[in-house]
Homo-oligomer: A and B are copies of this chain.
Amino acid sequence: MNKQAIIHRPTDQHAYVCADNSVNIMIQTQKGDCKGIHFIHGDPYDWEEKKWKNKKIAMRKTGTDQLYDYWQVTIKPASHRLRYGFKLNDGENPLYFGEGGFSAQEPNDIAFYFCIPYVHVSDAFQAPAWVKNTVWYQIFPERFANGNTKNDPKDTLAWGSSEPTADNFFGGDLQGVIEQISYLKELGITGLYFTPIFKAYSNHKYDTIDYLEIDPQFGDKETLKQLIKVCHDNGIKVMLDAVFNHSGFYFPLFQDVVEKGEKSKYKDWFHIHDFPLIFEPKPNYDTFAFTPFMPKLNTQNEEVRNYLLNVGRYWVEEFDIDGWRLDVANEVDHGFWRDFHKVVKGIKPDLYILGEIWHDAMPWLRGDQFDAVMNYPFTRNILDLFAKESIDRKTFAENMTAVIHMYPASIHTNAFNLVGSHDTPRILHECSGDKRKVQQIFTFLLTFIGTPCIYYGDEIGIDGDGDPGCRKCMIWDEEQQDRHMLEHVRKLITLRKNHPLLANEGNLSFLPVEMNSHCFAFMKEKQDKTIIVIFNLSDQEEQFTLPAHQNRQMPIDLWTG
């Protein structure tokens, strides 16, 4: 056995407490190395005649990626305490594995075993219960709908009359969203994620001027209240975007520093290397990327922390928002996010906190900071298979297995799954205009675990390259909408709602790709129900032989009904 490939540590995805007092344990072994693994477990203080009393149960193999097999077990320790180890079976001799390393015989010394000292539900990762059943829809407010022409900015262009650029305006606003609520309701989405709506300079509003005011181009506080009420009345949650990593250049407190230099009392609100301030070619203060227009806020400064925590508090307390999406969340310190978590959940315990993190986000997902992150590793894998065809079906299944074993399972059911956003080329563009590919991608997105998010307009076939191309005006003329795509998405959302196995219930597995030459399938199982989702990646009709199943009922085709 490849001993170095046997990976387990009692933390993170390998061992965690669940909300029902159970503990989930995962171990990795080299792909194909083990025939089976038994989980040895007991209470550390439970002894009889100098022998530790333990039990053994078989672990379930929950997936295989390019390098490892993953094995899991869920256990509910009667006394809340758990010592445990693994008995690995390679078909020849058993090998025992614990914190003390490896042993050919079963050790009786408790120090050999791993430890979950006591099961505290308060330490369990617990996202708000509503999140895992949500289908999100992302709105870039300047481009969704113009409901009030009175608040249009200067030089507003006629709706959709031109290509989007970094600095043109089309007049989209909050009133526009209110007026289109029936469109959203009929589509079936149950959560709206708005990119920033606070007063800012640009059309994307990621360069905040005033964190406590609605951008006048979008409406006012009264409009936001109405919008949230309309959403709540229609069973739709509302998530706003908090840009706490940096302010805009025209944030008055940064302007104070620009003006007064070293004498500004706000100089420690930012990360300024020296004075006077320099803006070109590279700013002499920390920024988002190297953009002088987005000076980084010093969240380690208590004044800044209190200021931003108050912003977080204000919109929850006064406007009853349901979620905060945190922009560039990874570049803000953990201490700030721990405080943020306490403050906003203190006001509204079922508030959702979603961090923008593109890479491995484990340190933010330990229950004390975020409920989820934007699941870009998921996105990449989907694009590679369906859009770019740069990987094969087997690699796709292996990569997706790696993605869903990266964090505790409770995190994956709340993951924010997306196939495009205001930061990426649109999905139709990624698929080089091939709508059949987009349909397959929506099918995967809306039948897989996690919480899917649809980027406004993707459901009606809007195209566009990366920023600013992906920020075109929403098309409201039905004749110009791709109604076929819209029906496809709507049907998928309905199916997902009617069949929890298509969302976050059941055990997931990928079917061996050898079962067919061009199809790819995954299966969700729970008790006596099984759903298989099959994708035909070829241009031809294909035969797909369903796997043998103990419960030999005639299968039903959920798609055709």
Contact = CB atoms under 8 A, between A and B. Distances in A.
Interface stretch (A109-117, A467-475, A481-489): A109-117
Interface centre among A9, A120, A330, by most chain B C-beta atoms within 10 angstroms, is A120
A68 interface: yes
A247 B101 CA distance: 35
Contacts of A338: 338, 368
A4 B118 contact: no
A333 B45 contact: no
Interface in A138-196: none
A66 interface: yes
B359 A121 contact: no
B333 A123 contact: yes
Interface string A2-23: 1111010111100000000000
Nearest to A399: B101
B120 A333 contact: yes
Contact of A11 (B30, B120, B362): B362
Contact of A286 (B80, B123, B331): B80
Interface string A34-74: 00000000000110000000000000000000111000000
A122 B304 CA distance: 14
A81 interface: yes
Contacts of A362: 9, 11
A117 B330 contact: yes
Contacts of A79: 286
A334 B358 CA distance: 27
B380 A117 contact: no
A111 B66 CA distance: 18
A210 interface: no
A182 to B, nearest CB: 39
Contact of A114 (B111, B123, B359, B368): B359
B360 A9 contact: yes
Interface string A65-101: 0111000000000011100000000000000000101
A314 interface: no
A11 B362 CA distance: 8
A290 interface: yes
Nearest to A402: B101
B30 A300 contact: no
Nearest to A7: B7
Interface string A281-307: 000001001100000000110000000
A335 interface: yes
Interface footprint category on A: 35 or more
Given A66-B101, A360-B99, A123 B335 contact: yes
Contact of A5 (B5, B46, B115, B380): B5
Contacts of A360: 9-10, 99, 114-115
A299 B123 CA distance: 11
A363 interface: yes
B101 A331 contact: no
Contacts of A332: 118
Nearest to A329: B117
Interface in A366-396: 368, 376, 380
Contacts of A9: 360, 362
A117 B337 CA distance: 14
Contacts of A331: 81, 117-118
Contacts of A368: 334-335, 338, 368
A66 B102 CA distance: 11
A439 to B, nearest CB: 26
Nearest to A67: B4
Contact of A120 (B67, B300, B359): B300
B330 A115 contact: yes
Contact of A333 (B101, B122, B333): B122
Nearest to A3: B67
A115 B332 CA distance: 13
Interface string A323-363: 00000001111110010000000000000000001111011
A123 B5 contact: no
Nearest to A65: B101
A12 B10 CA distance: 13
Contacts of A118: 330-333
A355 to B, nearest CB: 11
Contacts of A30: 4
A63 to B, nearest CB: 15
Interface of A: 2-5, 7, 9-12, 30, 45-46, 66-68, 79-81, 99, 101, 111, 114-115, 117-118, 120-123, 271, 286, 289-290, 299-300, 330-335, 338, 357-360, 362-363, 368, 376, 380
Given A45-B290, A46-B290, A123-B335, 5 more contacts: A111-B376, A114-B359, A114-B360, A120-B299, A338-B368
Query: Which 6 interchain pairs have the tightest Cβ spacing?
Result: A4-B5, A117-B330, A120-B333, A45-B289, A118-B331, A115-B359
25 contacts: A2-B4, A4-B67, A4-B68, A9-B362, A10-B359, A11-B363, A45-B289, A46-B290, A66-B101, A79-B286, A80-B271, A81-B331, A99-B360, A111-B376, A114-B360, A115-B359, A118-B330, A118-B331, A120-B299, A120-B334, A123-B333, A334-B368, A338-B338, A338-B368, A368-B368
